Structure 1
């Protein structure tokens, strides 16, 4: 039985090079309801929000009986996390009912909350089912690896970003067969995602925490596709400032995060320096396994001409 709570989290091993994806979720139990982890940078000197959320959910799940599975989470990013310092996760056991259990997690650095999350767990039950049909888009085997293109175009930058070798992504072109038509004012992007290394099959919580991490990789950029249509660009000055404000997920059916999942994302609104993105995860059999919604800070950098580096 795999657990991602142990003393190995006292250091951040992925800072030294590529690692098993499970290491990104590993936290150390310090005391009852108190855990410690490390997170890598998502932006310069800012901890990656998806990893903070995934570790917070890991902490919450370790205080709930294994037969209760997480079905939803709601998180707020309050301050930028420092990737050079550990993060403490404080768990409050809000409620343990007959079917449902609720936990609240506060991630703390330097005595200040950087992230808060509420997560709900429940016992599985039989019920009628329905879902939106998965679009008949090309499979991941038919698509190119964006990391290979990035490595060719910016080898030194790619060599430093070893964390990307712990996951796999395939972007589906907008004109690919089977792609739903894009509605006016609603930019969309479809991406296949999975962890880059296998995950233990006997830990459903680990699968959900891994998907929580993966869900934060592309949602923010979906809100700004109308401002930066070349979504896989990794070089040159960034004209858009993006930062996650909040993040919510609902888990509908069992899945494996180390197998390809289609992330169908759309952004129905952008205003007031904020953008909203919604996404659905489908497995290879077309089952809708999870949904995600995120609000993102979206700000355009001033443009001062071709030589501008701002």
Structure 2
């Protein structure tokens, strides 16, 4: 990636630097399995992946010292995408889906190593598996699939009929004048958010419903790199996705009496989109139970084109 332009907002320049992973080497890999033909058992190598490509990335500093989950998702997209090499004269295959599990909290003072396995390169699809590793242990495991552009059946959900972003209060409007490290962090994010129904940081919602809509975009222009835009969409998709659960139960982020952590995350990229244009992130929660809550999201361009869908389950434990 090119260096961020001089007029790029500092928060976005920091995000671009974090996503500019360094390739640090390759490692051989072999997988063995027991094969039983009913008469005898032998051990034979199964070449799921001949080697792993290793990348290293840094982290954005967080007030609580833990790595933001959306950052690791975005870095995983970049790491996997860089191993999908196009044929001569061909464009790189764009990502069409990711599935990830958050396994441990990450330390934002330590680098993260991404080990990417080339699972398969077929005529139409390329599949990759990546592990984000700190201190010798995985903090996230994810699979990504990339597809050659193709024609086919085409339909989509309609975008919800909600007010546009103009005139809505942004998080920087809410927290920009508050002299507190947590408030400054929210106000200075690389992703702008404008809640249609109002934000949930300081107080619960007036109406207890399990759905909300948030306008979102990067705070400045991004380079014309489709993989980078997909990575930033993945980054942004982790913001606010569990809020429909909080909204339904009259909770807020600050003083809401909950311990919250993402458990897993899935995302499907339907159509090309720029992460620096306004996108409506429509979210709803079909269920919360057992200390967990599930939320579903859909991202629409301002003209109503559905560009991505998301799903995330999070831990939401009520504190005594």
Aligning the two structures, in what range does the TM-score lie when normalised by the shorter sequence?
A: 0.7 to 0.9
Q: Structure 1 segments of 4 or more deviating over 4 A?
A: none
TM-superposition CA deviations, 1:38-59 (whole Å, max 9, x none): 1225561211000001101100
Q: String of CA shifts for 1:154-174, please: whole Å, max 9, x gaps.
A: 323257527834221100027
Which residue in 1 is equivalent to 2:74?
Answer: 54
Query: How far apart are 1:31 and its partner, in Å?
Result: 1.5
Give the match for residue 305 of structure 1: none
Task: Classify 1:265/1:122 alpha carbon distance in 2 versus 1 (closer, same or farther; 3 Å).
Answer: same
C-alpha spacing 1:223/1:24, structure 2 compared with 1 (3 Å) = farther
Per the TM alignment, residue 301 of structure 1 is displaced from its structure 2 partner at its CA by 1.4
What is the match of residue 25 of structure 1?
Answer: 19
Closer/same/farther in 2, CA of residues 286 and 72 from structure 1, 3 Å limit: same
Kindly indicate whether the alpha-carbon contact (under 8 Å) linking 1:279 and 1:291 is maintained by their aligned counterparts in 2.
Answer: yes
Indicate the SS of the match to 2:247. coil
Supply the distance in 2 between the matched residues of 1:171 and 1:185 (Cα, whole angstroms).
15
- Counterpart of 1:113 in structure 2 is 138
Residue 205 of structure 1, aligned match among 207, 224, 227: 227
The answer to whether residue 171 in structure 2 is matched with residue 146 in structure 1 is yes
Tell me, what secondary structure is at the counterpart of 2:312? strand
The answer to whether the Cα contact below 8 Å between 2:175 and 2:186 also exists between their aligned partners in 1 is no
Moved more, 130-139 or 156-165: 156-165
In the TM superposition, what is the alpha-carbon distance from 1:217 to its structure 2 partner? 0.8
Q: Deviations over 1:6-58 (max 9, x none)?
A: xx9xxxxxxxx634242242211111411001122556121100000110110
Larger Rg, first or second structure (1 or 2): 2
- Cα deviation, 1:253-280, whole Å, max 9, x if unaligned, reads 0000000000000000000111000000
- Cα distance change on mapping 1:19 and 1:100 into 2, 3 Å: closer
Match of 2:60 among 9, 19, 40: 40
* 1:102-142 deviations in Å (ceiling 9; x for gaps): 00000000000110000000100112311010012111112
* Alpha-carbon distance in structure 1 between the residues aligned to 2:249 and 2:63: 19
SS at match of 1:206: helix
Partner of 1:225: 247
Which of 83, 92, 97 is the aligned partner of 1:72? 97
Q: TM-score, normalised by structure 2?
A: 0.80
In structure 2, C-alpha distance between the alignment counterparts of 1:159 and 1:291, rounded to whole Å: 29
Q: Secondary structure at the match of 2:316?
A: strand
2:219 matched to 1:196?
yes
More displaced 10-residue stretch of structure 1: 161-170 or 264-273: 161-170
CA distance in 2, matches of 1:292, 1:264: 10
Figure out how many residues of one structure are paired with residues of the other and give that number.
275
The CA distance in 2 between the partners of 1:90 and 1:103, in whole Å, is 10
Q: Distance in 1 between matches of 2:227 and 2:108?
A: 24
In structure 2, stretches of 5+ residues that fail to align are 5-9, 27-52, 86-90, 199-206
What is the CA–CA distance in structure 2 between the aligned matches of 1:86 and 1:95, rounded to whole Å? 28
* Residue aligning to 1:168: 192
The answer to whether the 8 Å contact 1:223/1:296 transfers is no
Partner of 1:63: 83
2:148 matches 1:123: yes
Query: Partners in 2 of 1:58 and 1:186 — Cα distance?
Result: 35
Please give the secondary structure, in 2, of the residue aligned with 1:255.
coil
TM-score normalised according to structure 1 size:
0.83
Q: After alignment, is 208-217 or 32-41 more displaced?
A: 32-41
